[in-house]
Structure 1
Amino acid sequence: MGAAAAVFVAFLASGLLVQTLNVAFGIWFTQIFVFLGLGWYVLRATGREPVRYTRLAFPGLVPVAFGFVLGVVNFFAIVAPIQYVAQSLLPPAWREIYDVADMFRGQSSLEMAFIVVSVTVVAPLCEEFFFRGVFFQGLRAPGGPAMRAVLLSAVVFSMFHLDPVGFFARVELGVLFGWLLVRTGSLWPAILAHTANNLVSMVLFFSARHLEMPEQPGSQEQAKSMLMLVILGGAVLWALLAATRRFPSLLGPPRSREELEAPEAPVPLEPAPRLLQLAVPWMLAAVLTLGTYKALDPLGIQLSRIDRDFPLRSVPEDAPDVLHAERKALYELRVQARRGEIPLGEYAQERARQSKQKKTDVR
């Protein structure tokens, strides 16, 4: 729990500081230096070998492929319906707290590519390393039931995303990833299931954006489509889980219950000089990474500062078309400023104007 608290503080600090420089860079920085770096440091500080402790040994292609397929099916069978219900029932203000679309608005093509790779590759690896590899294993140390640790680590995993609408969907995902770790004895099936979930989510997001589909559920046709998705996805999910009973090799070689439930022996903390020695490489790498980014992308930092100084109210879907057109033009203006095609002041002036719009103007 102490490791989780430390990572949570570092997560908030990096989110507030680094991601204000640039969203794409901030996501990468947070994943690598907070979830992976601090997780690795916690293990080495207690004398543990990270690869062995987090179960990063490769279990074979079959369990890994099964994890990926399970992640895809689980998205349609469980995650999407939970998210649909949450978006339908919870207040609109809750949806505005965590809006995935905000990450991509006004970003250059390179920045969007960085975000997509981070969400579909870097985040699954780094988050699973910490939440299932470090935190979950730490919860199991007293030797309690594995599924209790699975559930608790899933709740903490969801809380870290600071998304009230997606809270229950991410809890379910955390349970799935933890179950895969327990059943296969390896972190890789959980990583691939996480990758599959995020990949499907990204594909659907960009498809809906390209087709200009409404972001929020509302029509009866959408409800009927979601019901069919639940039925079909649930049937496929049941078939996959049933297949694991008939073909246990889908989850890798058999493992004894003693091995599944075996607690990790307590390990004393390393001496203070050793702790500092372990921390220095990560600290230097983080400082050098920040310094390099600030030297290479001053324009991006200036744009992010403008965005921070002039926050925008969200434009509801039922707002007048002119407001939607203005907001779209603003994001296009940001892309032009990012490319150096227009002065930064032109974008800043329009952003400042739209940030001063009254709540009644956008509602």
Structure 2
Amino acid sequence: MSYAAPKSYAGTLVGLTFFAATSWLVLRYDESTIRAHGLSLGGLLEPVPLSARRLARAALHAVAWATLVATIVFPLFWLGYRLYWGATSPFVLRPPPSLADEIAAQLLVVALPEEAFFRGYLQSALDRVFPPRFRVAGATLGPAWLLSSAIFAIGHVLTIQHPARLAVFFPALLFGWLRARTGGIGAPVVFHAACNLLSLTLARGYGLSP
């Protein structure tokens, strides 16, 4: 899909493909199957009546966990980003033409489909084959955590063939940890989108992208 689609639509179509695959593999089944894969999102993706209270509770839970991890990781990432790119000029905040569009795109077109497939379907399916057996900061993890992160990284380098793309393996470990620690993909979706937004903001702020 990435190679066949026009460049301006490739990202959107890849996201739709991931979500369609997840729908076929998981979301077309009952709510117990959806919950077992961490894909409930407060009932949003379940075939049950929506509850505003449940949705709000799930959203706050996801944002709280994503914020906690971001508070720890983002300062270190910022420092590493400056060192890796050799950024010596001061950071200047340069907002995108439409901040709302950028946030919506990262949440709904990138983070949600990727997390639904890689952490919702794939990590859960691999956990059944390779049962989790060790604890990492409160989360029970196993080979599936590493395998799904590696496949995630390989997918990124296949769409844009540059070795640096393999570096997404490391944030994928955090996405997978959040999936295991919280029992769902809500926190990974929020944190994934926040990571992408931070990278875009830093690239603009240091003049590395328009």
Please confirm whether the aligned pair reaches a TM-score higher than 0.5, indicating the same fold: yes
The AA in structure 2 aligned to 1:74 is V
Aligned residue number for residue 70 of structure 1: 69
- 1:177-208 Cα shifts (integer Å, max 9, x gaps): 11111111121011111011011111112222
**SS of residue matched to 1:186:** coil
Check 1:114–1:196 CA distance in 2 against 1; reply closer, same or farther (3 A cut): closer
Matched, 1:139 2:126: yes
| 2:103–2:193 CA contact under 8 A, matched in 1 | no
What residue number does 1:40 align with?
Answer: 23
C-alpha separation in 1, matches of 2:147 and 2:81? 19
Q: Which runs of 5+ in 1 are unaligned?
A: 1-13, 89-108, 216-327, 329-363
The answer to whether the Cα contact below 8 Å between 2:59 and 2:186 also exists between their aligned partners in 1 is no
Once the two structures are TM-superposed, the CA of residue 64 in structure 1 deviates from its matched residue by 2.6
| Residue 188 of structure 1: aligned partner | 186
Q: For residue 52 of structure 1, what is the aligned residue in structure 2?
A: 35
Counterpart position of 2:13 = 29
Does the 8 A contact of 1:140 with 1:149 survive in 2? yes
The 5-angstrom pairing of residues 173-322 of structure 1 reads 173-209=171-207
Aligned equivalents of 1:84 and 1:148: distance in 2? 32
Residue 149 of structure 1: aligned partner: 144
Amino acid aligned to 1:164: P
The one-character-per-residue Cα deviations of 1:197-244 (angstroms, maximum 9, x if unpaired) are 0111111122223xxxx67xxxxxxxxxxxxxxxxxxxxxxxxxxxxx
Question: Structure 1 CA distance, aligned partners of 2:104 and 2:190?
Answer: 14
Q: CA deviation at 1:117?
A: 4.0
Q: Displacement of 1:129 after TM fit? A: 0.2
Deviation of 1:132 (Å): 0.1
Separation of aligned partners in 2, 1:67 and 1:153: 20
- SS across alignment from 2:39: coil
Compute the displacement of 1:60 (Å): 5.3
* Aligned counterpart, 1:119: 106
CA distance change for structure 1 residues 67 and 180 in 2, over 3 Å: closer, same or farther? same
Give ranges in structure 2 of 5+ residues lacking alignment.
43-57, 87-96, 133-140
Instruction: Return the offset for 1:62.
Output: 3.8
CA distances 1:277-334 after superposition (whole Å, capped 9, x unpaired): xxxxxxxxxxxxxxxxxxxxxxxxxxxxxxxxxxxxxxxxxxxxxxxxxxx9xxxxxx
Cα distance in 1, alignment partners of residues 169 and 79 from structure 2: 13
Higher helix share: 1
Code of the aligned partner of 1:154: S
Q: What is the alpha-carbon distance in structure 2 between the residues aligned to residue 131 and residue 56 of structure 1?
A: 11
The residue type equivalent to 2:109 in the other structure is: V
Contact 2:19 2:116 in 1 (8 A): yes
Provide the TM-score with structure 1 as the length reference. Answer: 0.41
Correspondence for 1:160: 155
Any idea what SS the aligned residue of 1:16 has?
A: coil
- The answer to whether the Cα contact below 8 Å between 1:83 and 1:166 also exists between their aligned partners in 2 is no
In 2, Cα distance between equivalents of 1:63 and 1:44: 20
* Shift in Å, 1:66: 2.4
Q: Number of aligned residue pairs: give it.
A: 171
Deviation string 1:87-106 (CA, Å, 9 cap, x unpaired) is 68xxxxxxxxxxxxxxxxxx
| Cα shift readout 1:70-119 (whole Å, capped 9, x = no counterpart) | 2364243248627955x68xxxxxxxxxxxxxxxxxxxx68x98676433
Residue 54 (structure 2) aligns with: none
Aligned to 1:227: none
Distance 1:44 1:69, change over 3 A: closer
What is residue 103 of structure 1 aligned with on the other side?
Answer: none
Tell me, in whole angstroms, the C-alpha distance in 1 between the residues paired with 2:103 and 2:187.
21
Q: Which residue of 2 aligns with 1:261?
A: none
Task: Note closer, same or farther for the CA distance 1:78–1:148 as it changes in structure 2 (3 Å cut).
Answer: farther
Query: What is the distance in 1 between the residues matched to 2:75 and 2:7?
Result: 32
Indicate the structure (1 or 2) with the bigger Cα radius of gyration. 1
In 2, Cα distance between the equivalents of 1:156 and 1:83? 27
Q: 1:194 to 1:71 in 2, by over 3 A?
A: farther
